[in-house]
Amino acid sequence: MGLSRSLYPTTLVGAIAGLCSWGLFELITAILPQQESGTLGDLVSLAILGSVLGGLSTWFSERQSGHVASPGWVLGGAGIGLISGCIAGAIQIPITDNLAEQAPFFTRVLAWILGGSLIGLGLGLLWIKLNRFRGPYAFLGGLAGGAVGGLVFAGFGGALPDLAQAVGFMVTGAGVCFGMALAPILLLQGCLEFVSSGDARAQSKLRQAEWDLEQDRSYVIGSQGSPRVAANSLDNEIFIPDQAIATRHAIVYGRQGRFYIARHPETSGQAGLGKYILRVRGKTVTASQELRNADDIIIGRTALRFVSRAHAG
C-alpha cells in the first residue's frame, strides 16, 4: 500500500478529527461552570477527542477498504474512543490535583501524553483481529502526538491559548491515526489497488479503495457484500459492486511469500470461463496464477493492480 494512498490521508483524517474535537470542546466548556473547567475540562476534552477520533477513523478505514460504513460499526469505534478518553481523563484527575501547582508545565504535557497514548491503544485494539500490531503502533503514535501537542499547548497556551489548544488536538489525533496506518504498511506483504471500472457504481464507490493482503490468508472477491461486514472482519471479503462480477468470482491467497489468484469454484469450468472475465497481464486465468508486482488484473469490468511488499510505499 503506497504511503500517499494510506498513511497521509489517514493522518489527515486524524488531524481533522482533532480539530472537530477542539470545536466541540469549546462549545461544551462554554456552558460548564467556571470552577469546573479545570480537572473536569481534561476529562471532557479527552472523552470528546476519543469519541470523534474513533468514529471518524473507523468510518474512513471502512470507506478506504471499499466496505459500507455501517452506523453500528462507526458508533462502536466512537464508543471505544469515548471509553479510552474517559479512562485517560480519570487517571489524569488525581495527577492534576497533586502536581498542577508544583509543576504546571509537566502536568499539562503529561495530560496530553496520557490522552493520546490511551486513546490510541483503545482504537488500535479495535482492529486486533486484522492486525495485532495496530494497538502498540497506535499507542506509540498517540504518545508521540500527545507529547508534541502537549508541548505546543504548554509552551504557547499562555500567549495563544485557543490556537495552541487547537494545534494540540490536531497533532494528537494525527499521531494516533499515523500509528494505526503505519502498522499495516510496515507489515504489508501485498495489496490490491482499485484502478477503474466500467461499472458506474463500482467506479463511484471504490475510487481510492485498496485491500491489504497477508500471507497464509485467502480473500474472496465478489460482487455481493454485506453492509455488516466491517473492514476488520476475518471474512476476508473484497466487495466490488460490478454487475459483471459473480457473487464469488475469484480467490486471492498468499503462500510461502508469494501471492496467487484463482477462479472461485463457482466460476470455474467452461460455463464460468465464458461468462466471467478474469485476466492477469492480459491473459485469461483458467487455473491458479502467480501475481507479480504491478500486475494488472481485470475482473468483470473492473481493473485492479497488485502491489507486492517489496515495492509498496
Tens digits of residue pLDDT in 119-169: 999 998 887 766 677 788 889 999 999 999 889 888 887 788 889 889 999
Contacts of 14 (CB under 8 A, 6+ apart): 53, 57, 145, 173, 174, 175, 176, 177, 178
Length of the chain in terms of residues written: 313
- Grade residue 99 by pLDDT with cuts at 50, 70 and 90: confident
pTM, full prediction: 0.66
Q: 148: exposed, middle or buried (C-beta count within 10 Å: 0-12, 13-18, 19+)?
A: buried
pLDDT at 41: 77
Per domain, the residue ranges of the chain are 3-186, 190-311
Q: Which residue has the cell 499515523?
A: 178
Pairwise pLDDT comparison (268 vs 306), residue with the higher score:
306
Q: Which residues pair with 254 in a beta bridge?
A: 259
Q: Which residue has the cell 479510552?
A: 84
Lowest-confidence pick of 10-19, 110-119, 178-187, 247-256 = 178-187
Q: Phi first, then psi: give them for residue 230, nearest 5 degrees.
A: -85, 165
pLDDT in tens, 196-248: 999 999 999 888 788 888 777 788 999 875 443 444 444 447 889 999 999 88
Q: For the chain, give the mean pLDDT.
A: 84
pLDDT at 243: 92
- Where are any strands of DSSP class E within 142-274? 190-197, 210-213, 218-222, 237-239, 250-255, 258-263
pLDDT at 198: 94
Q: Phi first, then psi: give them for residue 197, nearest 5 degrees.
A: -150, 145
Lowest-confidence pick of 43-57, 144-158, 170-184, 214-228 = 214-228
Lowest-confidence pick of 49-53, 62-66, 97-101, 242-246 = 62-66
Strands 250-255 and 237-239: unpaired
Three-state DSSP state, 2: coil
pLDDT at 232: 42
- Grade residue 5 by pLDDT with cuts at 50, 70 and 90: low
- Grade residue 250 by pLDDT with cuts at 50, 70 and 90: very high
Pairwise pLDDT comparison (255 vs 224), residue with the higher score:
255
Pairwise pLDDT comparison (58 vs 127), residue with the higher score:
58
- Grade residue 172 by pLDDT with cuts at 50, 70 and 90: very high
Q: Is the pLDDT of residue 13 over 80?
A: yes
- Grade residue 312 by pLDDT with cuts at 50, 70 and 90: very low
pLDDT at 159: 82
Count CB-CB contacts under 10 A for residue 243: 12
pLDDT in tens, 102-112: 888 898 899 89
| % of the chain exceeding 70 in pLDDT | 86
Nearest to 42 by CA among 131, 202, 153, 137: 153
| % of the chain exceeding 90 in pLDDT | 41
How does DSSP assign 219-239, residue by residue? Answer: EEEES---TT--TT-TT-EEE
Q: Which CATH number describes the domain made up of 190-311?
A: 2.60.200.20
- Grade residue 300 by pLDDT with cuts at 50, 70 and 90: very high
Span 176-199, average pLDDT: 82
Hey, what's the torsion of the CAs at 182, 186, 189, 193, to 10 degrees? 30
User: H or E element: which one contains 306?
Assistant: strand 302-308
C-alpha 93: how far from chain center? 30
